[in-house]
């Protein structure tokens, strides 16, 4: 249960960190030539936030089931507490590298005609998600071992 609670706080931190980037992307893609009415603009921003919420929550669940929960079960709690910095830093780097592999960032010169702004948004979310989840799990594990 503590791993799921840690993952929720990690998702929330990643969601909040990526939200400004997502809003900037939605505003950038909006029509500001005067043809878009304010209610339509608000509706588009609301849809963007709702989509960001659903996608990040789904991706967080996916990452937890495939990566975080198995790592939390494999690594002994005493080793995790003894190597706090390594645990958190490795988790953040893993999240970033996972997104880089998923987005094929090495093909930057031939990236299907789109820029890397979407990659940076997801990379920020993923790195922060894994780092905060690892830090929260560390705190909970340390508290359990101390009692």
Tens digit of pLDDT at every position of the chain (147 positions): 788 899 999 999 999 998 888 888 777 776 655 556 677 777 888 888 899 999 999 999 998 899 988 988 899 999 989 999 999 999 999 999 988 887 666 665 555 555 677 778 888 999 999 999 999 999 999 998 888
How high is the pLDDT of residue 23? 84
91 with 130: CB under 8 angstroms? Answer: yes
- CA 94 to CA 126: how far, in whole Å? 9
**pTM value?**
0.84
How high is the pLDDT of residue 111? 53
How high is the pLDDT of residue 7? 92
**What residues have CB less than 8 Å from 137, skipping those under 6 apart?**
2, 3, 6, 68, 72, 80
**What residues have CB less than 8 Å from 60, skipping those under 6 apart?**
7, 10, 11, 14, 129
Classify each residue of 16-36 as buried b or exposed e, where b means 16 or more C-beta atoms within 10 Å of its C-beta: ebbbebbeeebeeeeeeeeee
Q: What ranges do the domains of the chain cover?
A: 2-146
């Amino acid at each position: 249960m503590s791993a799921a609670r840690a993952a929720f706080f990690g998702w929330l931190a990643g969601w909040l960190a990526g939200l400004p980037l997502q809003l900037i992307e939605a505003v950038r893609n909006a029509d500001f030539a005067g043809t878009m009415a304010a209610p339509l603009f608000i509706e588009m921003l609301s849809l963007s936030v709702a989509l960001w919420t659903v996608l990040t929550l789904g991706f967080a669940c996916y990452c937890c089931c495939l990566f975080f929960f198995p790592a939390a079960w494999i690594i002994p709690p005493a080793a995790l507490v003894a190597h706090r910095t390594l645990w958190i830093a490795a988790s953040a780097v893993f999240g970033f590298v996972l997104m880089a592999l998923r987005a094929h960032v090495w093909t930057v010169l031939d990236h299907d005609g789109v820029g890397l702004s979407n990659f940076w948004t997801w990379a920020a979310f993923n790195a922060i998600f894994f780092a905060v989840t690892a830090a929260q799990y560390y705190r909970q594990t340390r508290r359990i071992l101390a009692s």
